[in-house]
Structures are given as structure tokens and as C-alpha cells.
Structure 1
Amino acid sequence: MSAENTASTSIDWLTLPEIAELLDESIGRVHRMLDDRQFAASRRDGAAKVPAAFFIEDRPLPSLRGTLFALHDAGLDDDESIDWLFSPEETIGQRPIDALLQGRKSEVRRVARTLA
């Protein structure tokens, strides 16, 4: 499933310069944070964009980094990881991103590990 198959109309996207402004960081620091998997990006209209839901209180969602590592360990790339996080997951009973926002990271990561 490609990122283009995600119901992108239901996702609010931020560009990297918008993230730099949100976090009050340099664009170079935002690129390092992206490389460190503090969040994931997808190419949208030629530009790398990140779901706004990956940020809470002007900081990256703390439980996202470990979850992205689990998804990458399961063989998913950034686009596939974003798709999975924003698609309803039967075993969780909701979208994984919503469960992460509710503090249910252990459950999300357990399911993510089964995707391999």
C-alpha cells in the first residue's frame, strides 16, 4: 500500500520549514531529527511532508520514535509506516496513531512487530 493510498485528505501535513518554525529549530536540526526517526516524512506534491499528528505541544510525539523503529524493523519504509499508522487496525480497535496519542505505545509496538 503506498502513501498515496492513504486517505491523505484526513491527514494534515506539515512541510519541513513549517516543522522548523513549529519546533523553533533550524531546518538542519529538523533534518537530523528526521534522520533520527523522531518522525517520518512522505513526498507530497514534490515536497517532503510530515503528518501534523506526529507533534504534540510543539514537540515530536515521544512514543513515535520507537514505534517507527519497530515498523522499519518489520520491513516497512516511511510511506508504508505512515499508511499503517493512519489506517484502522483491527487488533488495536482504532488507528495506531490515535492509540499512540492515548499513551498506548506498548500495544501499538506489539502489533507493529507482528507485521514482519
Structure 2
Amino acid sequence: MTGETTPTVPTEWLALPEVVALTGESLGRVRRLLDERHLVGSRRDGAFKVPSVFFVDGEPLGSLRGTVIVLQDAGFGDDEVIDWLLAADDSIGIAPIEALRQGRKSEVRRVAQTLA
């Protein structure tokens, strides 16, 4: 995938120690969540960070993992996955991450599958 989108959903970027504090999990467990695609992050300002909108009540958003996997199967890298999730999408009407947070997982994944 080429081209960059400008994220439209404002989010705080959490460094791994902040993710550990937010979730109450060990650093090893947080790394496992990243490895298993329950979370996705990227380097921002020299540190690896995760968008805070990927969490609900101190837990990774449950519908995030499957959506990340669909996007990666379509050829997206981590930065592209994050950009797509945070940018408004015309076919959904809002940013995909906002739709996921509203429980619209099937709709978001259906759109994501068309991007392959």
C-alpha cells in the first residue's frame, strides 16, 4: 500500500510503560498482545506507541484484533493499519475505529476486506 492518510480521530499515543500502567498487565504480556495482534502500534517521536483509542476500560478493544488481521492480509503495514483505522471512511461514514467502538465490527471488516 502506498500513500498516507491524515488521521482524523484525535488520540493520545501511549508508550509501552503507559500501556502497562493502563492495562495493569506486565510488559511481557503487553508485548504478547502486540505480537498476537490484539493491539497495533508504531514508532512516534522515537518511541514505540499505541493509540489510546484502541483501549476501552483499560482493555484492548475486542474487535480490533480481527480487523487488524484483515487489513494485514490485504497488505497493510502497521502504520497503514493505524492510519486507516483513525481516518474517516466515506463508506462507513466515520473513522473505522469509531465504528468499532460503537459495535459495528461486521461493517468495518466488510469494508476492510474490499481493500485487498
Instruction: Report the TM-score, using the length of structure 1 for normalisation.
Output: 0.93
Structure 1 stretches of 4+ moved >4 Å? none
Identity in percent: 57
**Which residue does the alignment assign to 1:99?**
99
Q: Which runs of 5+ in 1 are unaligned?
A: none
**Which residue does the alignment assign to 1:79?**
79
1:8 Cα deviation (Å)? 7.8
- Tell me the matched-pair count: 114
1:7 Cα deviation (Å)? 3.9
Q: Is 1:60 the equivalent of 2:60?
A: yes
**Which residue does the alignment assign to 1:24?**
24
CA contact (8 A) 2:8 2:87 kept: no
Deviations, residues 86-116 of structure 1 (Å, cap 9, x unaligned): 1110000110000000000000000001111
Partner Cα separation in structure 2 for residue 47 and residue 81 of structure 1: 18
1:9 Cα deviation (Å)? 8.6
Aligned letter for 2:104?
A: R
Which structure dedicates a bigger proportion of its chain to helix? Answer: 1
Question: Which structure 2 residues correspond to residues 37-56 of structure 1 after superposition, within 5 A?
Answer: 37-56=37-56
Instruction: Report the TM-score, using the length of structure 2 for normalisation.
Output: 0.93
1:11 Cα deviation (Å)? 2.2
What RMSD in Å do the two structures reach over aligned CA positions?
1.5
Partner Cα separation in structure 1 for residue 103 and residue 67 of structure 2: 12
Larger deviation, residues 33-42 vs 7-16: 7-16
Partner Cα separation in structure 2 for residue 64 and residue 6 of structure 1: 20
Aligned letter for 2:25?
A: E
